[in-house]
Structure formats: C-alpha cells, structure tokens
Amino acid sequence: MPRYFLEVSYKGTAYAGFQVQQNANTIQAEVEKALQTYFRSAFSLTGSSRTDTGVHALQNYFHFDTEHRIEVLRSVYHINAILPLDISVKNIFCVADAAHCRFDAVSRGYRYYLYQSKDPFLQERAYYYPYALDLELLNDAASSLIGTHSFGSFSKKNVQVKTFECTIFESRWSVHDEIFEYHVVGSRFLRGMVRGLVGTMLGVGRHRISVSEFINIRQSGQSARVDFSTPARGLFLEEVQFPKSIVSNKTTL
C-alpha cells in the first residue's frame, strides 16, 4: 500500500496540541476528519513532531498509507476546503513504503517571538515581555547550547524517552523591528524544552542569572531552576528537514 507524507501548517491557539487525544480537539483529529470526509474512509495518521497546546507550526508532517488514488492539486484543494481556517495542508507526496515522518527527520527548527511594545495584533503569535534584555548575554547563553548535550533539565516530567541527549546545530537570538526572536535547530527536542530554554535564558538577559549559572543548570540534570512559564503562543515549529532521498518526489505547489 503506497505511503504518503502530508505537510501541514497551523495556528495552534484553539487546539490541545498536535497529537490526537481523548476529550480534546487537536490538529491530528481535524486532519483525520477532513481526510475521512473527502476520501470517505478512515485514516490513521502518524505525526512527525508533537507540538503542545497553543503552539503553532509553519511546517509539520504526517504520514499515512492508502490505496486511494491521490491527485495532489485536487486533493490539497478539497481537503483545505474542509479543514478549519487555522489549519492548512501545504502538500501531499508519495514516499518509499518504509519512510517514517518522525524517525527519518534529521532536524527540527523552532522560533520563539517576544515583543516589547504592546501590540494587539501580536497577542496570539508572540509573548509580550516589556523588560530590558541584554542581547549579547542572550547569545552567549544560546551559543553554549550548540553541540551534543543532555537536556534532562529542560524536559518536563513524566516523559517516556530513552535518552535526554540532543544535538543542537543552531542557537541564536536576534532583534527585528523591536521583536526578539530565538532560533534553534536540533536533531530532536524534548517536551517543553524550547520554552524552558527561552524562559531560563530570559533570566540571563535580565541579569538575574549568569551565563555560567545557565550552563550549570543544563549540566545539573535538575529542572528546579528552569523557567517553563513562557507561553505557548510565542512558539513556532518552523521547519522539519528530511534526507533528500525521502523528499525527492515532493513538488512545489
């Protein structure tokens, strides 16, 4: 049975996360319902990168197996017509039968947005944080994350993972039009990790903790000093990367 990757983007404000769950509406539940409505048969999707309640995505993926004939342009158009306005299917493309949108991903990229002047149009897409921040210190802390490290300190509790080790390829802060942006790319991310990193680095940016203390927090493996309070609305899953061999059949829509 042919396997397909389905590329989506979404505004996560109204949803209890990415993955299907009981008694709560999710991105996966809406996409499965739209596929079932269009193709008139049930679909079971496997997700690439789980995002928490309220987190947005410019790019995320599902994969599924089906015997239905999929005409890409027609299918994308009609599925989008069924989906709510805050979820969009960007592409569907056939992949090898063994391709897996979670395990074959080589990196994920996230971006977190902070704004410092009150703006009602950013309210659901960024974190209002009207405090002075030291950009140089933020980047000193961010650069200390690059490489392969254990990030158990920055993982929320009750997660079932074999290891807390992640490799960070890019980690930096920048400012554009008075908006602070944290950009991070890694091999994988733990539950709550990006928000924990951002919240704790803000303590560095406000001179509340030093860069060396931030590094010690990471190395300690203890989450007691990690600030997970940064809201979900500022976080975007920006990109999921796969080997070229997997996405070779992907067409630009």
Residue with tokens 């994350």: 145
Question: Where do runs of H (alpha helix) occur along 83-149?
Answer: 135-143
Question: Where do runs of H (alpha helix) occur along the chain?
Answer: 27-39, 72-82, 135-143, 193-205, 211-220
- The residues carrying an active-site annotation are 52
Do residues 60 and 9 touch, judged by C-beta distance below 8 A? yes
Compute the radius of gyration of the chain from its Cα atoms.
Answer: 19
One DSSP character per residue, 221-237 reads ---TT----S-GGGEEE
d(CA 217, CA 196): 11
